[in-house]
Amino acid sequence: MEMRNVEISALRTLRSGFLYLLVAVIVGVVAALAGLLSIIAALGFMPAAPHGPSAFAGVVGAVVLLLVLSLVAVGIVLYAIFGKIRPGMRQLSEVDSGFRICYTGTTLMLVGLAILVLGLIVLVAVFAAAGFSPEALRGTVVSGLILALGVLLIGGIIAFIGDILTFVVGAFKLHGKYQNSLYMAAGILFVVDIALLLVGFSGILTLVGYILMYIALGDTINKLSTAAATPAQA
């Protein structure tokens, strides 16, 4: 019974993680729409749009709004992955060791993110050393730029592999354990979206996958909770 409680707790944690991911997507869409409409209005493409300095101030305000909402969305995503999905996979791996690879995936995502941040710091340092002047981008500065881009590439690849292990492999393993077809459908959507990423069009199918995962996890939690309560009623 104790392991069943751990299992249910793990699935609830995972489900809340996917809920936060959905909220992050909504915030990101609102940020994009609000920023775009604000910029259009400020530039004078709407009938009552202001002109001159006020238009410039409007553009700046729109950009600031876009950045703030985007940062909020990124913060929610980070919390969803490392505050919910990662602990959920860790708990689930205590019940079924097959999910350890999914927990490892979240670790790779964390390592990849840290490397990406390091790469960005190096990149900023390179441009600062160059004085933002093309004439200065020579010798060691060029080497530093190549190094920074290389670090960013490595970090991105590691995070990408971690994403596959966490979401794609995780969805298929959940389907294998709980036999809910929605997990399989979500995993397939994640795979197709990764393929679409290679041609520059991605995101929509992953969103649908998040929704399916949220629904499937809720169904699995209800079934396990009912099964756990049945002996107590007998």
Q: What is the pLDDT of residue 137?
A: 55
C-alpha angle 50-55-60 in degrees, rounded to nearest 5: 145
Q: What is the pLDDT of residue 43?
A: 63
Q: What is the pLDDT of residue 53?
A: 58
Chain centroid to Cα 69, Å, comes to 15
Q: What is the pLDDT of residue 65?
A: 76
In a domain, 38, yes or no: yes
In a domain, 162, yes or no: no
Bigger pLDDT: 53 vs 227: 227
With 80 as the cut, is the pLDDT of residue 89 above it?
A: yes
With 60 as the cut, is the pLDDT of residue 13 above it?
A: yes
In a domain, 22, yes or no: yes
Q: What is the pLDDT of residue 6?
A: 92
For residue 50, which phi and psi values (nearest 5 degrees)?
-75, 165
pLDDT tier at 29, thresholds 50, 70, 90:
confident
Count of domains observed in the chain: 1
What Cα–Cα distance (Å) separates residue 24 from each residue in 51, 53, 73, 162, 208? 34, 33, 5, 19, 14
With 90 as the cut, is the pLDDT of residue 86 above it?
A: yes
In a domain, 47, yes or no: yes
Average pLDDT of the chain is 85
In a domain, 3, yes or no: yes
Q: What is the pLDDT of residue 234?
A: 39
Cβ partners under 8 Å of residue 182, min gap 6: 212, 213, 215, 216, 219
In a domain, 156, yes or no: no
For range 63-90, the mean pLDDT: 91
With 70 as the cut, is the pLDDT of residue 11 above it?
A: yes
Where in the sequence is the domain holding 7, given as residue range(s)?
1-95
Residue type, 179: Q
pLDDT tier at 44, thresholds 50, 70, 90:
low
With 50 as the cut, is the pLDDT of residue 98 above it?
A: yes
Residue type, 188: I
Distance CA 176, CA 101 (A): 14
With 60 as the cut, is the pLDDT of residue 148 above it?
A: yes
Q: What is the pLDDT of residue 1?
A: 55
In a domain, 150, yes or no: no
Secondary structure (3-state) at 198: coil
How many CA atoms lie within 13 Å of 220's alpha carbon, on the beta-carbon side? 27
With 50 as the cut, is the pLDDT of residue 233 above it?
A: no
For range 171-186, the mean pLDDT: 96
What Cα–Cα distance (Å) separates residue 160 from each residue in 63, 108, 156, 172, 229? 28, 8, 6, 17, 40
In a domain, 100, yes or no: no
Bigger pLDDT: 172 vs 42: 172
Bigger pLDDT: 97 vs 34: 97
Distance CA 153, CA 168 (A): 21
